[in-house]
Chain A
Amino acid sequence: MLGDLRRTPLYDSHVALGARIVPFAGWEMPVQYVGVIPEHRAVRADAGAFDVSHMGEFEVEGPRAKELLQSLLSNDLDRIAPGQAQYTLLTNEQGGIVDDLIVYQLEEHRFLLVVNAGNRAADFAWIKEREIRGSDVRDVSDDFALIAVQGPRANERLGLPAAPAFTHAVGKVDGIEVLVCRTGYTGEDGCELLVLAADAPRLWDAILGRGVVPCGLGARDTLRLELCYPLHGNDISAETDAISAGLGWTCALDKEFTGVAALRAVKAAGPARRLAAFVMEEKAIPRHGMAILEGGEVTSGTHSPSLEVGVGLGYVPAALAAPGSHITVDVRGRQARARVVKKPIYSTKESTDGGS
């Protein structure tokens, strides 16, 4: 079964570090090196490095590149300029979420899209089918590796200056040229470094040599869930819409893009269900797929290493989505009480400052 899985340019580095390798979205990826909890804490307290080279990168270029993306993506590219980036959604006609992604404006007529690994082929096909004359869409994923370095000391450890969230610039780490993207999936300060695949093992070693802790996908998941960042395929999908998911802020409903009419209708009527964050009030860990007895289901759940309690995201009836509401999770036949909380479940300095 492992034979069909792909490996990132850093696979050998992970094995040499003793990582536990698991299949994820068609790739053999490190889920942990030492343990999820110490890796999670390293990111909250200092700095951790994640190989996220499995994610897809597309370049969209041409005089009508922006026009194409404006028609396909929910957020408004008029809000950013070259050197900036934006979290946005690729939507279908029903307003469902084909994928969530970050678009980096490299130049006036050149954009980089970083998409989820499991959606790379479908996203590319989706965009390619809708390509217009004057826009060229290329999948450049295999040319690059992507390493996220996250934590309050991430930039300091890398020798990089501080910079505003959602900006990017070409830079160097120990002489290796990288695109330094001030984005991430942990709620902490730091960056994601886009690097040529051939340079990736050298860059990885340089980052670890600066005292950054290698972290696996296990900690990536607990970190993002504490911040309530959605995971496509779990919390959001082609069958769920941005308004119900609490991602209305990524949808410029005053512009025209695929599915905008459906989204305007959901917004006008008010969604029947909302994606709520919750904290368990008794000893139990919610998991993806568990029923919420008031009507709904858990879409992500884990033990929060920061709060040391079970936490989760799930769709609940809109009337129960307000912080303070009580819900009941069916934990393998046992009814466990939970309390809906304001997002994020755990606040970092960055998240309260309005950073990534």
Chain B
Amino acid sequence: MAAAESYPDGLLYHPEHDWALIEGDEAVLGITWFAQDALGEIVHYEAPDVGAAIGMGEAYGEVESVKAVSDLISPLSGVVLEVNEKATGEPETINEEPYGAGWLIRVRLTDPTEIARLLSPETYRAHVAAE
């Protein structure tokens, strides 16, 4: 069952439709409701390796639906600490709970100053409304 459209407070957003939950010097990353809705039913999540270095605005993996494939764009730079095995094993979780059980990776931030460049929920909601 697909989730209802939402862009929760407490998260920060990247214009390529990714979110970040900042927890000290770590962050949990995922894709927004808008991104999963545009893709449709996700059937494959190609995750990065634990230990991989990822850069803000760069691709770190892929999600693929029946019809299309999309790069995952990292909202922040960091080193991958953990991959969500539930999302790789049951990729439909990303559609069902894009901000919860469908998170994608946890990273250790390598440049926390980048956080200031992310979008607030209000700004991201306006960005989505303009798409």
Contacts and interface: CB of A to CB of B under 8 A. Distances in A.
A283 B61 CA distance: 14
Interface residues on A, range: 10 to 19
A91 interface: no
Contacts of A222: 66
Interface stretch (A29-37, A76-84, A105-113, A138-146): A29-37
A70 B42 CA distance: 46
B44 A218 contact: no
Contacts of A283: 44, 46
A118 B94 CA distance: 35
B104 to A, nearest CB: 16
A50 to B, nearest CB: 16
Contacts of B69: 285, 287, 332
B67 A36 contact: yes
Contacts of B2: 35
A184 B65 CA distance: 25
B67 A37 contact: no
Interface string A283-299: 11101000000000000
A305 B66 CA distance: 8
A14 interface: no
B65 to A, nearest CB: 8
Contacts, number: 36
Interface in A214-262: 218, 222
B40 A35 contact: yes
B43 interface: yes
B64 interface: yes
Contacts of B65: 36, 303
Contact of B41 (A35, A285, A332): A35
A36 B40 contact: yes
The B interface, classified by DSSP as helix, strand, loop or mixed, is strand
Using C-beta atoms within 8 Å of the partner chain, give the interface range for chain B. Answer: 10 to 19
A285 B43 CA distance: 9
Interface in A298-356: 302-303, 305, 308, 332
Given A35-B2, A285-B69, A287-B69, A303 B64 contact: yes
A75 to B, nearest CB: 32
A332 B65 CA distance: 15
A238 to B, nearest CB: 26
B44 A37 contact: no
A198 B66 CA distance: 34
A276 to B, nearest CB: 22
Interface string A8-41: 0000000000000000000000011001110000
A285 B40 contact: no
Interface string A31-74: 11001110000000000000000000000000000000000000
Interface in B20-69: 40-41, 43-44, 46, 62, 64-67, 69
Given A36-B66, A283-B46, 15 more contacts: A31-B67, A32-B40, A35-B2, A36-B40, A37-B41, A222-B66, A283-B44, A285-B43, A287-B69, A302-B66, A302-B67, A303-B43, A303-B65, A303-B66, A332-B62
22 contacts: A32-B40, A35-B2, A35-B40, A36-B40, A36-B66, A36-B67, A37-B41, A37-B43, A37-B66, A218-B67, A283-B46, A284-B44, A285-B43, A285-B44, A287-B69, A302-B67, A303-B43, A303-B44, A303-B64, A308-B43, A332-B62, A332-B69
